[in-house]
Structure formats: C-alpha cells, structure tokens
Structure 1
Amino acid sequence: MYESSLTDGQWSVLEPLFPQRDPRRGGRPLRHVPHDLAPWDAAYRWFRCWSADGTWDRVHDRLRDLVRVAEGRDRQPSAAVLDSQTAHSHEGGDAIGWDAGKRTRGRKRHLLVDTGGLLLRAVVHAASVQERAGAKLVLTGITTVFPLLGLVWADAGYANRVDRGLLGWARDHAGVELVIVPRNADVRGFQVLPRRWVVERTFAWLGRCRRLARDYERKPAHAEAMIKVAMIRLMAARLAGEDIEPQGPIETEAARRLQDELNQDPQ
C-alpha cells in the first residue's frame, strides 16, 4: 500500500464509472495490480485506451458534476477563470515550443476552471503559442458544453491596451464575456488578485502530482489526460469524505476568500 494508492472509499466512488473487466479475458481485476509496479506496457495500454475512448473525460466530468452538487451548486457553471502554465518538457514529443517570456522549452497547460477551482476544460499546446491564441483553443465551443457559462475572468496577458480583439472574439464567437483582472501597478511582487487566484490554486493542486511537476508526455492528448487523472483523484477523495488538501494558514485564508466570493456571487 503506497501513499499514492486509492483508498477503499475513493475506489467505491470511482469503480462504477470505469469500464468493467470482461471475465472471459482473464487477468487480474483492474484495480488489483501487483504491489510494486505493473508492467509498463500494460499500464500504458490502459492509459492510452482510456485516453482515446474518452473514459478519463467521462469519469472526470461526472465527478465534477457530483462535487458541484455536493457543494450546493448547479451542475452547470455560469462563471469561470482562465489561465495558462508553462511546463518544462522533460523529453521530446509533439507540440514542443519555446516560451520566450518564461525562457522555457516545453508546453503550456491552458486551463478553464469554475469558481471553486474544478476543471472545465484543459488544452495542452506548444509553449510558443501566445495566451490570446491559446485562449481561443480553450473557449471555442465552450457554451455548447456549458450553456449557462457567460463570464470568464483572465489576466492582462489576454488583452493588452493595444490589442483587445480577444474580448470581442470571446463575445461574438465563444458567447462569453471575458473580463480582465489587472494587477495593481503600485504593488511590487506577488499579488492575490480577485477571482484569478482560484486557477492559481488549481495549478498548485496539479503540482502536488509528481507526474505533472514537468511535462513528461510525448503527446499533448496524454498530457491533457494526466491533468484529468490528477483532478479525478482529488475529486474522488472529496466525495469519499477524505480531505487530502494540506491544512494551514494559507489554506485557511484561501477557503475564507472563496467563501466570501461565493457569498457575493455564487456561481
């Protein structure tokens, strides 16, 4: 039993959502892998198959709906937060680029999360793709999946003073209002910005997973799937009543801020 292993409570949440083993094919039950590491080709085969057939997507989206309902919110979000994170690519693969601003060779993880930090959409692309182009990849067709979504917060990198075309594109083509949350120019260093801190916390959740400390995947689709797997683990723990988040002054303050914002505008 490892610290990273699913508990019985978490598995009870997840088991009905995954494809069931065909007893005619034999083999161990899907959860009962060897105590040490499973053969890499077997583990990769299931991961690849579930990435291709949408299993990770279906499990993730179902758990997100259950968590939102458990928190007293509608399954369909009406507001979201957008941001990206550049991850250094450990090896080669598809869609590798250079982020001149971060001086990093790798990929960008572009996330759209709800006001509680749960993932709505993840798009992984080359780090050379700028924020405004990446935002279009994330927001295209978003209201087809989330018809109540009408408001998206983002930072100033998505619409500077010279080029604010993304705001019009988001309104006319994606059907959402993109609201820029600017930094306070008079304050140096790190700032906790209204609404935007939520997606930063989501990146921190992902950063606790060693597989996501860097970008180890050769395919962007698999990098996106790994993000879903990390969120599945987090949401399964919540639904099983097992709080896996660290407790301390930072977490306490984050919870207070989130509750204040939800009380003002519960979305």
Structure 2
Amino acid sequence: MCKTEPGGDARPCYPSNLPAAWAVIEPLVPARDQRKGGAPRKYGDRMVLDAVLFVLRSGCQWRMIPRDLLPWDAAYRWYRTWANDGTWDRIHDRLRDQVRTAAGREAAPSAAVLDAQSIKSSEGGPDRGFDASNKTTGRKRHLIVDTLGLVLVAAVTSASVQDRPGGRRVLARLAAAFPSIGLVWADAGYANQVDNQLLAWAYEKLRLVVEIVRRSDDAKGFQVLPRRWVVERTFGWLVRNRRLARDYERLPGNSETMIKIAMIRLMATRLAGQSARWSNRPPDQAV
C-alpha cells in the first residue's frame, strides 16, 4: 500500500507510482500559499504527481484515472496549472542539473545532439500534418539533448515541418537558454547539399558549430552512428511511456509538457536509485 503524505490514509500502489523518487521531487515542488484565501487543498502534491504519472505510463484518458488515485478533473487542473506557471519546467531543469553533477559533469553542458522524430497523431488539433519522407500523418518532435541524453530543448510541430526549419527553431532556443554550448551534432537531414544554409546561419547568428554526422554509403542495414545514437536512445526512453507512443494531445504545448514529465520520471528514479521499469509485483508488494 502507498501513503500520499505522512499520516495519510493508505491506498493501492500502482506500478507507475514512485515512492522513493518522490523524496527527490518533493523539495522542488513550490510551497502552497494558503494566504490567498479559499478552502485548503484537498489533494496533496504527491497524489497529483501519481495521477499524472499514471496517465503518462498507461496512456489512458484523463477521465479514466482510477478513482482511488485522484478525481480526473483535479489531476488535470493541477497538471495544467503547473504547466502554465512553469513548475514542470523548473523541476525538469533542476533534476537535469543534479543528474549531470552526479555523473561528474558540469551543470552547464558544452555540447549537444539534435534530431527529430515523426510520430502519429490521432486526436486532431492544430499543427498536424504529413511527413512525406516517413509517410507519417501527425506531429514531429524536435529534440536537443546533452551528451548523456538528457533533454535540453523540446519543440513539437506539425510533421510537415522539415528538419531545417525545425532545427532553426530549437537551435535559437538552445542558444538563448544555454550560452555555454558551442557544438551541436546532427544528421544529414539538417545539411543542404548545395549551400548548407542552416549550418552557416547557426554559426553566424548563434555562434554554434553544427557538425553533421553522416552515415557511411557502404553501410547496409542498421548502423550505430557516433553521437547520433545518444538522441535516438532518448527517443526510445520517451516512447516507452504509452502516452508518448503516439501524440494523444490536442495541443502541441501539452505534448512538450509530457516529454518533460517523462524525463522528470526518468531522472528522479535515477537519482533515487529506483528502477523505472514496470513492476510485476502485486500491489501490496510494490515499491
């Protein structure tokens, strides 16, 4: 059984719950301000996180959250509140700094890896298109990660947005948020064989060196490419969460938030020394 807070009532512990990781996340959650008036909050922050992680891992609709976790409308309201006030972003960035420090790296990265992934979308909404190269109707995730695979910048666009325009968007955000980075590795999709406009633009405007990691023309089948495999592994981490196996969000901003929450879960479990895998243990033995 799980307890939401010291002295709280016991309730079933789902495999998506992270009791040990909560100790890592709790200090980063903003303190509740009771001076604004109104009734005190009925549901604690850990209950909110457990409900959001259940949606992330199971891929269920918000209205299908188990009733012994949290009413769905309360879970969604706090999910949106933390997205709008930047709480998810702040927790994500603080955890990334802690993971890098624990790995013996500087908190501010000096190099990064860029790539994009087209993903099917079935919920409609804005920014939904067709990626002709991958024959995918949906959206595209543009990611820049550090050399550990931790997300630095994430942007979700229509799948019809090509790599070079999408690359400009995330590279500009990268340069503004991480002035310490001077080198970015990317695949050949970001290089124009005629004039390499993106590479020249990144160096002239952002002082970023974009180095293209090309696949050998003699290689057949799958090939692990230097540096590029790091971001491919991050995409693999994301799609293990069923909510991210497709794009189920109507708004691209919600898709970006879910990416951040998936990384929060991964980094918190890593810092807590807890397994991030699904548990096969019965609920009364879950950890």
Q: TM-score range by the shorter chain?
A: 0.7 to 0.9
Q: Which residue of 2 aligns with 1:202?
A: 234
Asked if 2 retains the 8 angstrom alpha-carbon contact of 1:95 and 1:125, the reply is: yes
Aligned in 2, Cα 1:148/1:26: closer, same or farther, shift over 3 Å?
A: closer
Q: Secondary structure at the match of 1:95?
A: coil
Question: Could you tell me which amino acid in structure 1 is paired with residue 255 of structure 2?
Answer: A
Any idea what the Cα deviations from partners look like across 1:140-178, whole Å, max 9, x if unmatched?
142332121000000000003124111001101122100
Distance across 2 between alignment mates of 1:203 and 1:192? 15
> What is the aligned partner in structure 1 of residue 121 from structure 2?
89
**C-alpha offsets along residues 119-143 of structure 1, whole Å, 9 cap, x if unaligned?**
0000001100000000011011423
User: Who is 2:224 aligned against?
Assistant: 192
Output the aligned Cα RMSD: 1.6
Residue aligning to 1:6? 18
Radius of gyration: which is bigger? 2
Does 2:31 match 1:31?
Answer: no
Letter in 1 for 2:46: R
Q: What does the per-residue CA deviation read over 1:9-43, in whole Å, with 9 as the maximum and x for residues that have no partner? A: 20000011113345652312122367645322211
Shift of 1:50: 1.0
Q: Take 1:190 and 1:54, find their aligned partners in 2: how far apart are those partners? A: 39
**1:90 CA displacement:** 1.8
Report if the CA contact (8 A) 1:115-1:198 is conserved: yes
Task: State TM-score, norm by structure 1.
Answer: 0.87
Note the 1:1-267 alignment, pairs <5 A. Answer: 1-7=13-19, 9-22=20-33, 24-32=39-47, 36-244=68-276
- Worse-matched range after superposition: 84-93 or 154-163: 154-163
Q: Which amino acid aligns with 2:21?
A: Q
The Cα offsets for residues 192-246 of structure 1, whole Å up to 9 and x where unpaired, read as 0000000000000001101100000111111000000000000001111124369
Change (3 A) 1:35 1:5: farther
Q: How many correspondences in the alignment?
A: 245
* Greater shift in the superposed pair: 66-75 or 24-33: 24-33
Secondary structure at 1:91 match in 2: coil
Task: Give the conservation status (yes or no) of the 8 Å contact 2:47–2:69.
Answer: no
Q: Whole-Å Cα distance in 1 between the matches of residues 223 and 167 of structure 2?
A: 23
Q: 1:224 to 1:158 in 2, by over 3 A?
A: same
- Please, which moves more after superposition, 39-48 or 195-204? 39-48
* Residues 37, 97 of structure 1: alpha-carbon distance in 2 compared, 3 angstrom cutoff: farther
Percent identity of paired positions between Structure 1 and Structure 2: 60
Cα deviation code 1:29-85 (max 9, x no counterpart): 122367645322211111111111111110000000000001110011000000000
Counterpart Cα distance in 1 of 2:277 and 2:198: 35
1-structure distance, mates of 2:159, 2:176: 27
The letter of the residue matching 2:27 is P
- Whether the 8 Å CA contact 1:142–1:174 is kept in 2: the answer is no
Gaps of 5+ in 1: 247-267
Letter in 2 for 1:28: Y
After TM superposition, the structure 1 stretch with the greater mean CA deviation from structure 2, 92-101 or 135-144, is 135-144
1:30 is aligned with what amino acid?
D
